[in-house]
Amino acid sequence: MRGVVPLLLSPEQELIKRVVREFAEKELGPEATAIDRSQRFPREHFAKMAPLGLLGLLLPAEAGGAGTDTLSFVVAVEEVARSSGTDAALLILQNTVVAQLLAQSGTQEQRTGILAPTLAGTRIASMAATEESGGSSLRDILTTAKAASGGGYTLRGSKAFVSLAGVADDYIVLAELPPRGPTFFVVPREAPGVHFSEPESKLGLRGLPVAEMYLNRVHLPESSILGQPGQAQAALAEPLHLARLGVAAGLIGLTQAALEQSIDFARSRVQFGQPIVKFGAIRGFLADVQAELEAARATTYGAAALRDSGKEYEEEVYEGRLLAHRIAVRGTRIAHKVHGGAGFMRDLPLERVSRDVRTLMHLWDGHDLTRSRLATHLLG
């Protein structure tokens, strides 16, 4: 990165980049392959991230967070993804929809009892918004919450593709609360009537469990409501933009890993009496990836910098994510060309990185939806 990107990073952000890279390479990367193969949720990684402030990067110090800016969050996600896609996805989830909703909309009791231990790494929270019939849309929500005769609310329904299903302690559940509308409720894992399916066997990010969540007449107290009743859509807008920005950063980090692995392989692989890195076609492939990766990085960093300056950044988020999607797919495809048959062997990390890319790019909007949102933003 010798061009525009270094000019965007302050000395403090460069320090965060270096510290997080060293932490990820030492504590996360060495176990990434084993976690992928066993599909084990690395809870110990969650606890290790907490002392560095990685679970609350975007929250101010008075809220228990690290008080960093958006660009620092993007840099941290990128560096974690470079070593572990699973941990990057966990970092995105915790810093955006979880921490943001609890900090901005939570009561003092919720911030003290749920957010604080989550930031400390002793408790885990997640989001349950997606439904089988309507995706993550806040329209036509089938999960319902009704006022109970003895006080509180009763939830009925189910949620699909719930991240950290069965391992998180608390879930921010989206339900329709007549007549107010879509409302968030905090549901403890141990609440009677809460059940989970067996975890899905995913293509990538295999250390992040995903399953269905069933809510069978789950009774919750009045204090379980998160934010204002009926205001879920407004509350979720900003956290989702940050999640999309985080996904772009994660894809950039994974692609950076694939590029570095390809360069190392090309230097060590000898054909026709010389390392393949000396072949013009190989050099051209790697140069293409570097140039396009730098464009995606600069756009994503720029979106984060716009938010930090208090300006509108939605359009740039979609641009950065679209570029990150494309170079992640193209970059890993080229990495496999460079590696040849070796790239499909599980002994090398490229095989895992390629699967993680194709899974991460579908979190919080896939490629087509991102392109559609950008077109709508531009054209109306």
Residues 337 and 366 placed together within one structural domain of the fold: yes
How does the average pLDDT of the chain come out, rounded? 93
Q: Which residues pair with 154 in a beta bridge?
A: 146, 219
Amino acid at 251: L
Give the end of a domain, one of 211, 229, 247.
Answer: 229
For a pLDDT cut of 90, what percent of the chain falls above it? 83
Residues 255 and 317 placed together within one structural domain of the fold: yes
Residues 167 and 303 placed together within one structural domain of the fold: no
Residue 94 belongs to domain with CATH number? 1.10.540.10
- Is residue 2 scored above 70 in pLDDT? no
Residue 334 belongs to domain with CATH number? 1.20.140.10
At 59, give phi and psi (nearest 5°).
-95, 145
Residues 370 and 260 placed together within one structural domain of the fold: yes
Residues 306 and 272 placed together within one structural domain of the fold: yes
Cα–Cα–Cα angle for 296, 329, 353, nearest 5°?
100
CA dihedral 364, 169, 95, 129 (to 10 degrees): 20
Name the strand (E) or helix (H) holding 154: strand 153-163
- DSSP strands (E only) in the chain: 125-128, 144-147, 153-163, 170-177, 181-188, 194-196, 210-220, 225-226, 270-271, 274-275
Q: How big, in percent rounded to 5, are the helix, strand and coil portions of the chain?
A: 60, 15, 25
**pTM of the predicted protein model:** 0.94
Residue 137 pLDDT level (bands cut at 50, 70, 90) = low
Residues 40 and 83 placed together within one structural domain of the fold: yes
> pLDDT tens, 207-225?
999 999 999 999 999 999 9
Residues 244 and 340 placed together within one structural domain of the fold: yes
> pLDDT tens, 100-113?
999 999 999 999 99
**DSSP 3-state of 127:** strand
Q: Are the C-beta atoms of 97 and 55 separated by less than 8 Å?
A: no
Residues 157 and 57 placed together within one structural domain of the fold: no
> pLDDT tens, 329-376?
999 999 999 999 888 888 899 999 999 999 999 887 777 777 788 888
Give the end of a domain, one of 196, 229, 262.
Answer: 229
Rounded to an integer, the average pLDDT of 161-182 is 96
For the record, the structure tokens of 79 come out as 């560096």
- Is residue 312 scored above 50 in pLDDT? yes
**Domain tally for the chain?**
3
> pLDDT tens, 72-99?
999 999 999 999 999 999 999 999 999 9
Q: Are the C-beta atoms of 153 and 220 separated by less than 8 Å?
A: yes
Rounded distance, CA 247 to CA 89, Å? 8
Residues 262 and 369 placed together within one structural domain of the fold: yes
Which residue range forms the structural domain that includes residue 213? 125-229
